[in-house]
């Protein structure tokens, strides 16, 4: 959507490619006002489009919510359980698993079905309580409880620990009762009742502490998904808005704008500022709603504001540059999503950079999406100050300025040309 | 004509190949379970901790999991972690063995880890928990024995019975062919781009509608539906070629397994048809040409998210976990997973047929609506 769209009923000029006035006048107050008018119009026209509103202001929250849940401190992870032993001890273990808030237990009748759903990634993991479980525990013999996984590394840390904790705690009580009963000649059930009562006070959970490190902290849940989708959607949406500007080129609107009494750079700058404004508006909504509804800690507001502003200008310039380079709307649509998603992916917006190899980490370190993402994570999860992310801010500002200069230079002639659809 | 359009070539071949390559690269080392470098600080220096350390050093299962380094102090261990020479620290506190032997509640074990090595922290936590639980079982057995003896007028410990090992959780693969992360995300990301790659077919319908060339071509005797079918067929061929190029690149260059060729071809054929069907329905639903790209992007994003292309269904919120099967790409992913993990082409037939059924339904709906679009 662009101000450079022709007004209804306007007459399209039939002239060939117009000569662009070479004068580069000193920017005046009128120029600045025109830039502001164009930018405001870009924002206003986009906000009138309900589909754009959905994509800019609703879809990000849906994705933040889904991805945040996927990466959250775990609760209700789906785990399948096959109970091949129907003794009371097997039932006790099943109950313990069912009462664990980390797990959501689905009962399976056979191992084949359990394996299939773990393979299909419908279940995080599976547990098989084997036949003979009861007898082995009562007699003090070891028994292996298979944990069925598609890939051990894909089982979330909390699920792994919860499963091991539940099985081992249950085992602790039962084996203690079994030994005590054998030592004293009491019945196993009596010993188990006593061990149950004592065991509840006995177990001391292992204390876990995180050591502070110099490198970026690894955020979880919405602390990752909110900044990741802020960066991704700002970039993908604004880059995608290039298609509207290409449509303006096709209709001759950009040609007319370049022939206006204002200097040639005014309409281009206005389009960049308008797109940056849209990106800022989108970012503001994500920041506010993210904090209010999802309890995202964004960190130092000045630092976050600087990251968002510089990245918004970068995205706006990238969009106008794409609109200048693409030969048709089809090309614009063909290029915008792949470029946006690819840069987002490489910058660490689709998965945490910490899990990828060193090669891709180096790639993230030289991309504006990577700078924005790292700075936001450092500010939000790492408690960094503006000074701590200054290097990223400078890099983003330089990249935004450079891309603006390139976009203005490249689009100067291209905007004066017609495009084919 | 599409071959002459460089952007289409980018979208059809370069984008999926680059995307699948990045995915393969990103997860290339993800599945390697290297032994965790664990620093152990023994402040206890008792019989139990000595036995535990010996077990860690000699047990084949634990040796596969851990590379142990016993150090004198916690600060030394922390330094090792900061230097990257250790990934996690396990501290056995002073008095641990004494507490267990005296049937008292032992002090808590401490695991130190970093956010950069969550797996190492998790492994250290599991090892500590197993040790703590076994030690606690000894204490608990002693206490329970004591309570039983106290409850019996002529009771007493009749014999010395050691506490058994009990239940040991042990990881087992769900299939003979383990699922590598890259094998999940390579086809998954290819499907993501398939939705965008084939959208030009439906977009051309709008372009020709605007230029009124479609109605003119119908004067030649060909029905409008035939012309539209031709455009969609071109998009379909493009989608298939794009997917094949991603499959070839990731398989040959990055050794990523997609499953038996028969299954992969079936699923690519079905999923490409479904993606074209989605683009056709979207094109007939939107009211203005300007909305087409945005709605295509929105629908594609929602479908790939719900279908498990970005996040596997097991990690999705419970409410939308089973929605993946309401999407054609969710079924295609199921087919890819079945074929990779069973290495049997037949395992993907059902999923491919359901994906194809989605395509048929989408074509019928789109076919019914397309004439209305052209007459608007």
The residue among A219, A214, A232, A241 whose CA lies nearest residue A346 is: A232
A150 touches chain B (CB under 8 A): yes
User: Chain A residue closest to B200 (CA)?
Assistant: A330
Domain assignment present for B167: no
Tell me how many domains chain A contains: 2
Structure tokens at A338: 């792949």
Q: Element (H or E) spanning A138, and its range? A: helix A133-138
Residues A260 and A390 in one domain: yes
pTM: 0.72
Smallest CA–CA separation between A28 and chain B, in Å? 35
C-alpha pair distances (Å), A209 with each of A326, B112, B121, B205: 52, 5, 9, 60
User: Chain A residue closest to B96 (CA)?
Assistant: A204
Smallest CA–CA separation between A400 and chain B, in Å? 25
Residues A163 and A250 in one domain: no
Q: Which of A392-406, B70-84, B95-109 has the lowest mean pLDDT?
A: B95-109
Tell me how many domains chain B contains: 2
Domain assignment present for A272: yes
Residues B143 and B69 in one domain: yes
Residues A163 and A235 in one domain: no
The three-point CA angle A401-A406-A412 to 5° equals 125
Residues B96 and B210 in one domain: no
Contact between chains at B207 and A421 (C-beta distance less than 8 A): yes
**Could you give phi then psi for residue B36, rounded to 5 degrees?**
-80, 130
ipTM of the complex: 0.72
Contact between chains at A175 and B111 (C-beta distance less than 8 A): no
pLDDT at B27: 66
Domain assignment present for B157: no
The residue among A369, A387, A393, A227 whose CA lies nearest residue A297 is: A227
Residues B107 and B146 in one domain: yes
Q: What is the CATH number of the domain that holds B43?
A: 3.40.1710.10
Going edge to edge, which strands form the sheet with B88-92? A207-210, B110-113, B88-92, B36-42, B66-71
Domain assignment present for A404: yes
Residues B46 and B21 in one domain: no
C-alpha span between A235 and A231 (Å, rounded): 6
Residues A49 and A114 in one domain: no
Domain assignment present for A152: yes
A83 touches chain B (CB under 8 A): no
Which domain covers residue A90, as residue numbers? 74-196
Rounded to the nearest integer, the mean pLDDT of chain B is 81
C-alpha span between B132 and B118 (Å, rounded): 21
Q: For residue A55, give the DSSP letter.
A: I
C-alpha span between B105 and A385 (Å, rounded): 43
pLDDT at A22: 46
Domain assignment present for B47: yes
Cα dihedral across residues B200, B205, B209, B213: positive or negative = positive
What string of pLDDT tens digits covers the 421 residues of chain A? 444 443 343 333 333 444 444 445 556 677 788 888 888 888 888 888 777 777 777 778 777 777 776 666 567 788 999 999 988 999 999 999 999 888 889 999 999 899 988 888 888 899 999 998 988 888 878 888 999 988 776 677 778 878 888 888 888 888 888 888 888 878 888 888 888 888 766 767 778 887 776 555 567 778 888 899 899 989 988 998 888 888 888 877 777 777 777 787 888 889 999 999 999 999 999 999 889 888 889 999 999 999 999 999 999 999 999 988 887 777 787 778 878 888 998 898 887 777 777 778 888 899 999 999 999 998 987 778 888 899 999 999 999 999 999 998 888 877 766 555 4
C-alpha span between A306 and A372 (Å, rounded): 10
In this predicted structure, the answer to whether residue B307 has a pLDDT above a threshold of 60 is: yes
Residues A233 and A343 in one domain: yes
Contact between chains at A119 and B169 (C-beta distance less than 8 A): no
Residues A142 and A244 in one domain: no
> What DSSP assignment string belongs to B313-369?
GGGS-HHHHGGGGGSHHHHHHHHHHHHHHH--GGGGHHHHHHHHHHHHHHHHHHHHH
Contact between chains at B148 and A180 (C-beta distance less than 8 A): yes
Comparing CB atoms, the residue among B166, B207, B302 nearest residue A174 is B166
A163 touches chain B (CB under 8 A): yes
Partners of residue B165 in chain A, C-beta under 8 Å:
141-142, 175
What residues have CB less than 8 Å from A120, skipping those under 6 apart? Answer: B313, B334, B337, B338
User: Chain B residue closest to A349 (CA)?
Assistant: B310
Residues A226 and A359 in one domain: yes
Residues B134 and B186 in one domain: no
Residues B86 and B228 in one domain: no
Residues B207 and B301 in one domain: yes
C-alpha span between B336 and B264 (Å, rounded): 7
| Torsion of Cα atoms, B249 then B251 then B254 then B256, to 10° | 140
Domain assignment present for A171: yes
pLDDT at B370: 79
Residues B107 and B231 in one domain: no
Which domain covers residue B262, as residue numbers? 2-28+180-375
Smallest CA–CA separation between A30 and chain B, in Å? 32
Residue A241 near residue A276, CB atoms below 8 Å: no
Residues B144 and B198 in one domain: no
Comparing CB atoms, the residue among A122, A152, A359 nearest residue B33 is A152
Residues A61 and A99 in one domain: no
Residues B311 and B202 in one domain: yes
- Interface probe for A, chosen from B83, B137, B176 (most Cβ of A below 10 Å), is B137
Partners of residue A114 in chain B, C-beta under 8 Å:
174
């Amino acid at each position: 959507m662009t101000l450079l769209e022709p007004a209804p009923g306007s007459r399209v000029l039939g002239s060939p490619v117009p000569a662009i006035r070479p004068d580069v006048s000193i920017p005046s107050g009128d120029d600045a006002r025109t830039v502001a008018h164009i930018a405001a119009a870009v924002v206003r026209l986009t906000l009138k489009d309900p589909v754009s509103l959905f994509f800019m202001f609703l879809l990000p929250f849906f994705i933040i919510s889904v991805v945040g849940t996927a990466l959250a401190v775990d609760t209700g992870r789906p785990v399948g359980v096959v109970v091949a032993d129907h003794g009371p001890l097997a039932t006790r273990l099943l109950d313990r698993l069912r009462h664990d808030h980390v797990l959501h237990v689905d009962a399976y009748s056979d191992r084949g079905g359990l394996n299939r759903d773990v393979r299909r990634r419908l279940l995080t993991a599976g547990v098989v309580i084997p036949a003979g479980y009861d007898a082995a525990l009562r007699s003090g013999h070891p028994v292996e409880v298979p944990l069925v996984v598609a890939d051990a590394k894909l089982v979330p840390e909390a699920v792994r620990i919860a499963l091991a904790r539940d099985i081992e705690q249950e085992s602790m009580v039962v084996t203690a009762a079994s030994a005590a009963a054998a030592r004293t000649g009491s019945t196993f059930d009596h010993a188990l009742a006593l061990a149950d009562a004592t065991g509840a006070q006995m177990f001391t959970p292992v204390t876990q502490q995180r050591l502070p490190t110099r490198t970026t902290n690894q955020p979880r849940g919405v602390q990752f998904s909110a900044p990741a989708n802020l960066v991704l959607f700002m970039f993908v949406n604004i880059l995608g808005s290039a298609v509207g500007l290409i449509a303006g080129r096709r209709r001759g609107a950009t040609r007319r704008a370049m022939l206006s009494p204002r200097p040639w750079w005014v309409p281009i700058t206005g389009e960049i500022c308008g797109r940056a404004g849209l990106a800022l508006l989108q970012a503001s909504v994500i920041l506010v709603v993210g904090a209010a509804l999802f309890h995202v800690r964004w960190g130092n507001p000045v630092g976050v504001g600087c990251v968002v502003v510089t990245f918004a200008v970068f995205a706006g310039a990238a969009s106008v540059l794409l609109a200048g380079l693409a030969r048709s709307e089809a090309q614009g649509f063909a290029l915008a999503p792949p470029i946006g998603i690819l840069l987002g992916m490489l910058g660490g917006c689709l998965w945490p950079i910490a899990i990828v190899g060193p090669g891709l980490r180096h790639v993230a370190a030289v991309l504006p999406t990577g700078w924005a993402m790292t700075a936001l994570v450092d500010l939000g999860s790492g408690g960094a100050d503006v000074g701590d992310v200054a290097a990223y801010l400078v890099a983003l500002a330089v990249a935004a300025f450079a891309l603006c200069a390139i976009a203005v230079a490249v689009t100067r002639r291209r905007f004066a040309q017609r495009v084919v659809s | 004509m599409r071959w002459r359009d460089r952007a289409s070539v980018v979208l059809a071949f370069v984008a999926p190949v680059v995307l699948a390559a990045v995915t393969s690269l990103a997860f290339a080392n993800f599945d390697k379970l290297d032994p965790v470098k664990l620093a152990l600080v023994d402040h206890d220096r008792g019989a139990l901790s000595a036995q535990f350390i010996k077990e860690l050093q000699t047990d084949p299962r634990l040796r596969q999991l851990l590379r142990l380094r016993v150090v004198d102090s916690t600060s030394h261990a922390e330094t090792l972690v900061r230097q990257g020479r250790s990934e996690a620290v396990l501290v056995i506190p002073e008095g641990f063995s004494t507490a267990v032997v005296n049937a008292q509640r032992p002090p808590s074990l401490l695991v130190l880890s970093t956010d950069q090595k969550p797996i190492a922290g998790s492994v250290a936590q599991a090892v500590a928990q197993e040790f703590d639980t076994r030690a606690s079982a000894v204490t608990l057995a002693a206490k329970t024995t004591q309570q039983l003896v106290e409850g019996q007028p002529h009771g007493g410990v009749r014999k010395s019975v050691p506490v058994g090992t009990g239940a040991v959780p042990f990881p087992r693969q769900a299939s003979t062919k383990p699922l590598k992360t890259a094998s999940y995300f390579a086809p998954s990301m290819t499907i993501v781009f398939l939705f965008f790659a084939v959208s030009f077919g439906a977009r051309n319908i709008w372009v020709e509608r605007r230029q009124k060339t479609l109605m003119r071509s119908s004067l030649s005797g060909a029905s409008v539906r035939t012309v539209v079918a031709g455009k969609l067929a071109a998009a379909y061929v493009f989608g298939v070629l794009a997917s094949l190029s991603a499959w070839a690149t990731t398989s040959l260059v990055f050794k990523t397994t997609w499953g038996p060729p028969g299954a992969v071809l079936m699923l690519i054929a079905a999923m490409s048809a479904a993606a074209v069907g989605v683009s056709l329905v979207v094109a007939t639903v939107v009211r203005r040409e300007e909305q087409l790209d945005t709605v295509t992007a929105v629908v594609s994003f929602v479908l790939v998210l719900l279908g498990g292309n970005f996040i596997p269904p097991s990690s999705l919120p419970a409410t939308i976990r089973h929605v993946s099967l309401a999407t054609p790409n969710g079924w295609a992913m199921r087919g890819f997973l079945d074929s990779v993990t069973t290495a049997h082409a037949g395992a993907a037939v059902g999923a491919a047929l359901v994906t194809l059924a989605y395509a048929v339904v989408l074509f019928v709906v789109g076919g019914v609506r397309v004439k209305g679009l052209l007459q608007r």
